[in-house]
Amino acid sequence: MYADLGLTASQEDADTVYAAHCLHVSGMTRLLLRDTGAALADLLRVQDLVQELGIADPAQIRYDADLAEALVAAGDLPAARHTLAGARRRAQDLGRRGVLASLDRAQALCHAAAGEFGPAEELLNRAARAFERLGYPLQRGRVLLARSSLEQRRRRPARANEAQAAAEAVFRKSGAPLWEPARPQGDQAQPWLAGLTDAEQLVAELVTQGRGNRDIAAALYVSVKTVEAALTRIYRKLEVRSRVQLMALVQKDGHLARR
Q: Report pLDDT for 184.
A: 42
pLDDT in tens, 119-169: 999 999 999 999 999 999 999 999 999 999 899 888 888 898 899 889 888
pLDDT in tens, 187-202: 344 555 667 776 777 7
Which of residues 182 and 4 earns the better pLDDT score?
4
**Domain encompassing residue 192:** 186-258
Same domain, 104 and 217: no
> In terms of pTM, does the model score above 0.75?
no
Measured CA to CA, the distance from residue 204 to residue 195 in angstroms comes to 12
Same domain, 192 and 175: no
Same domain, 98 and 166: yes
| Chosen domain end from 141, 162, 179 | 179
Measured CA to CA, the distance from residue 115 to residue 72 in angstroms comes to 13
Report the CATH number at residue 218: 1.10.10.10
Q: Exposed, middle or buried, 232 (CB in 10 Å: 0-12/13-18/19+)?
A: exposed
Q: Report pLDDT for 257.
A: 40
pLDDT in tens, 199-250: 777 788 888 877 888 888 776 666 788 888 888 988 888 888 888 888 777 7
Residues 6+ apart with CB under 8 A from 64: 58, 83, 84, 86, 87, 99, 102, 103, 106
Percent of the chain residues topping a pLDDT of 90: 42
Same domain, 55 and 134: yes
Measured CA to CA, the distance from residue 192 to residue 204 in angstroms comes to 10
